[in-house]
Structure 1
Amino acid sequence: MDKERQSPTGILGFPVAPMDTNGKLDLRGLEKNIHFLMDEGLSSIFVGCGAGEFHAISNEEYREMVEVAVAATKGKVPLYTGVGGNISHALEQTKISEELGAEGYLILPPYLIDPSPEGLYNYLSTLIASTSLNAIVYHRDNCQLNLDILQRLIDYPQLVGFKDGIGNNELNNELTHVIGDRLEWINGMPLAEATMASYVNLGFRSYSSAISNYIPHISQIFYDALLNEKKDVLNDVYQEVILPIHRIRRQKKGYAVALIKAGMEIVGLPIGTSVRPPVASVEKEHYQQLEQIIKKALEKFPKEDDNAKIIMK
């Protein structure tokens, strides 16, 4: 428990849960998705999380996904899993993650209940303490933390990161100034690139990237421009890629998942666009709009042969 701990940093990779037309999990497709993200230089892999349709997979499928991810990553990059929802199932998932050799897990919100602060602390602390693995808490939906809860949770050495999906930067400012570098601060807003410029000023240096599943080199261009103050490049990426995709994503609930699979199909990745209810597939009109955005983006920002690495200022 006293080992040196570090959260994944930089652009974090969140593979999808590929499914065939009958809704059956495609483990071969998941393996290809993970290898693609690693080959494109993403810093870590988070399997079975929001993009991986955590809400719709059984714990048996969850185990299969983690097994594939462990075999695919082979310790080359940090591997994290998603755990959460029903506390009993979540504890099964922390044990599966530990048993199979993940480095840590991202704790997703509890199921259905809108908890009191004490109830939320009990939920999170139970999961954090259940294994020796690293843990990251996801501040979103009905898992809304405050300074008091987070200060109590950092007593657990397993807690290495705080991922924000709410967008309350008044609170984020308080948290980062009081807690400082004890935690890695991660932007987990939908299409995080759309808000990352404001998060960087608060000390957030890492984020989960949905578009990295289909145009990862543009995520790299964006992040390099942001960190190194290349304002013209940054503006072009926002105007030509980030904001247009974000406008489509806001058209329909569930697009945070479905739009990723649509983008992957558009660029030729063998994933398919099938999703499980209650998420619905991308409508034809929006699919075509995304297709045009990606086409123009690839013309404006062509992919180089080698993967440029982010240079921190």
Structure 2
Amino acid sequence: MLEGVLFFPVTPFTTTGDVDFDALHQHVTAGVDAGPGGVFVACGTGEFHALDREEYAAVVRTAVDSAAGRVPVYAGAGGALGLARQFARAAVEAGADGLLLMPPYLVESPAAGLVAYARAVGQETDLPMIVYSRANARFDEASAAEVAQLPTVTGLKDGTGDLDLVARIVPAVRDALSASGKSFQFFNGMPTAEASQLAYRALGVELYSSAAFAFAPDISLAFHRAIEEGDQARIDALQRTFFHPLVRLRRRVPGYAVSLVKAGVTLSGVKAGPVRPPLTPLTEPEVAELAAIIAEGRAVLG
């Protein structure tokens, strides 16, 4: 089972648009050295939507090699069902330890269809799989309880931000699994999850994805320690100076949840390169604004 801060690396690109595997190795190695509980590669922050199958396989292999068995490496899989199956098999071949099931492509998805989608992808491998509830793939309590009982599904990540729904899903899943004793984990998957983690934690959701870890692991880990220790003064200070300003910048333009992280990684010393269309990069003034936000957060650490 996973614990601690979860690291979602970006996928660096060269100026000509190719995957920069040297930069990816540097990025993942430095991140793992900082001490996350797991690496989630080629997911939303890693621009899964923009990778072809060959790039995806090489990105996952690079992350696995860079992590060198120190922490588990999960890989994103999703999109059109046939492609999701291909990505799942490629993740196995690349040595991944698990999958994060991203939403299917484009269509509105009824709850029963989401369960069937997860079942079909899960049948491709024996890897543990975390299902992602967000966008056009929103599980309700009944479908969450059903999908949790699939043999390889070990977790549910919420990116809906619907706390009322999460409050109903958590006990529904626990009730459904109580007889089997199956281990299962819930994740806060909101962009800049730290900003909402106190609310999620009150519902029994202790794990969260940290976009900030990719470019400011010291701030991310300090916040996690403050959460674990109940240090409300440190939590409030980091929210006020770092996470809330980060959220305001992220919300300025659609897609900045990825573009902002990529800019932050470059500021940290790893040349992450551009984002791929349809995403757009931060402007130069916004990069300067991000640098100032990072500096304010580090000032709290002392």
TM-score after normalising by structure 1 = 0.91
Match of 1:285 in 2: 285
Distance 1:159 1:267 in 2: 35
Q: Point out the more displaced range, 170-179 or 26-35.
A: 170-179
Residue 96 of structure 1 deviates from its aligned partner by 1.0
Distance 1:135 1:172 in 2: 19
Residue 138 of structure 1 deviates from its aligned partner by 0.3
Q: Point out the more displaced range, 186-195 or 222-231.
A: 222-231
Within the candidate set 81, 84, 101, 1:107 is matched to 101
- Is 1:138 the counterpart of 2:132? The answer is yes
- Is 1:62 the counterpart of 2:56? The answer is yes
Letter in 2 for 1:63: A
Match of 1:227 in 2: 228
Distance 1:50 1:213 in 2: 13
Match of 2:177 in 1: none
Residue 103 of structure 1 deviates from its aligned partner by 1.1
Q: Decide whether the 8 Å contact of 1:138 with 1:165 is kept in 2.
A: yes
Structure 1, unaligned stretches of length 5 or more? Answer: 1-5, 303-313
Letter in 1 for 2:206: R
Structure 2, unaligned stretches of length 5 or more? Answer: 175-181
Q: Secondary structure at the match of 2:103?
A: strand
- Is 1:157 the counterpart of 2:170? The answer is no
Residue 271 of structure 1 deviates from its aligned partner by 2.2
Match of 1:215 in 2: 216
Letter in 2 for 1:172: V
Q: Decide whether the 8 Å contact of 1:138 with 1:164 is kept in 2.
A: yes
Q: Secondary structure at the match of 1:24?
A: coil
- Is 1:76 the counterpart of 2:77? The answer is no
**Structure 1 segment 163-202 matched on structure 2, within 5 A:** 163-180=157-174, 182-202=183-203
- Is 1:264 the counterpart of 2:261? The answer is no
Q: Decide whether the 8 Å contact of 1:70 with 1:100 is kept in 2.
A: yes
Distance 1:87 1:23 in 2: 27
Q: Secondary structure at the match of 1:98?
A: helix
Q: Secondary structure at the match of 2:74?
A: strand
Q: Decide whether the 8 Å contact of 1:10 with 1:205 is kept in 2.
A: no
**Structure 1 segment 86-97 matched on structure 2, within 5 A:** 86-97=80-91
Letter in 1 for 2:223: F
Q: Point out the more displaced range, 116-125 or 19-28.
A: 116-125
Letter in 1 for 2:220: S
Distance 1:182 1:172 in 2: 18
Letter in 2 for 1:136: I
Q: Decide whether the 8 Å contact of 1:9 with 1:184 is kept in 2.
A: no
Question: What is the number of equivalent residue pairs in this alignment?
Answer: 295
- Is 1:239 the counterpart of 2:250? The answer is no
Match of 1:306 in 2: none
Q: Secondary structure at the match of 1:163?
A: strand
Distance 1:128 1:201 in 2: 30
Distance 2:165 2:299 in 1: 40
Distance 1:154 1:290 in 2: 38
Q: Decide whether the 8 Å contact of 2:154 with 2:185 is kept in 1.
A: yes
Q: Point out the more displaced range, 39-48 or 293-302.
A: 293-302
Distance 1:173 1:281 in 2: 36
Q: Secondary structure at the match of 1:31?
A: helix
**Structure 1 segment 43-54 matched on structure 2, within 5 A:** 43-54=37-48
Distance 2:18 2:268 in 1: 22
Q: Point out the more displaced range, 288-297 or 79-88.
A: 288-297
Match of 2:141 in 1: 147
Match of 2:21 in 1: 27
Residue 296 of structure 1 deviates from its aligned partner by 2.5
Q: Point out the more displaced range, 25-34 or 218-227.
A: 218-227
TM-score after normalising by structure 2 = 0.94
Residue 91 of structure 1 deviates from its aligned partner by 0.3
Q: Write the deviation string for residues 187-210 of structure 1: whole angstroms up to 9, x where unpaired.
A: 000110110010111111111111
Q: Secondary structure at the match of 1:138?
A: strand
Distance 1:263 1:298 in 2: 14
Identity over aligned pairs, percent:
34
Q: Write the deviation string for residues 227-268 of structure 1: whole angstroms up to 9, x where unpaired.
A: 221111111111111101111001011111110111122232
Distance 2:155 2:264 in 1: 29
Q: Secondary structure at the match of 1:111?
A: coil
